[in-house]
Amino acid sequence: MDQSNKHTISLLVSNKPGVLTRVALVFARRGFNIDSLVVSQSQDQEFSRMNIEATGDERTLHLMLNQLNRLIDVIHAVDHASDDVIQRELALFKINCSPEARTEVLQIADTFRGQTVDISDETITLQVTGKSTKVDAFKQMMSPFGIMELVRTGKVLMSRGLESTA
């Protein structure tokens, strides 16, 4: 019996209008939910790199990867869920923070190697980077203070060493 799992998929695609729409439709048709999506230009401006975290079963993933690799503008589509890759995410947290709580919030942020990017009388905005589990843990620690806004980039990933990511 197939279980739904998180999959980290990277694609190297042509840098053309409409490619993202065609890729997203493959996920939608197969019943995969896209949890995180990052698209950026690669080292060659003719191509873009997509990093997608999606939830779905293994059998459907295999079919979907085959379908993605058949799309004319997809150069490579690879699932990196079990690979040893470098993964990072950036998050900005706007915290409800009175001057009395500021020291405690800054101490917690320092533990997570967070950076202060803005301070006002009643808020503090912090930047945290790292694995998604680190961002999740920081979110949990900041929740008691009141998270007013949270913006996350989604996962970016790269293969280690000489191996190409996609």
Q: Residue 83 has what pLDDT?
A: 74
Every domain of the chain and the residues it spans = 4-83, 86-156
Are both 4-83 and 86-156 of the same fold? yes
- Closest of 106, 157, 98, 99 to residue 128, by C-alpha: 106
Q: Residue 4 has what pLDDT?
A: 62
The CATH architecture one would assign to domain 86-156 is 2-Layer Sandwich (3.30)
Q: Residue 91 has what pLDDT?
A: 96
- pTM for the full predicted model: 0.80
The CATH architecture one would assign to domain 4-83 is 2-Layer Sandwich (3.30)
DSSP secondary structure, 91-137, as one string? EEEEEE--TTTHHHHHHHHHHTT-EEEEE-SSEEEEEEEE-HHHHHH
Give per-10-residue mean pLDDT for the chain (166 aa): 70 94 90 88 92 85 90 91 84 95 96 96 96 95 96 88 75
Q: Residue 32 has what pLDDT?
A: 82
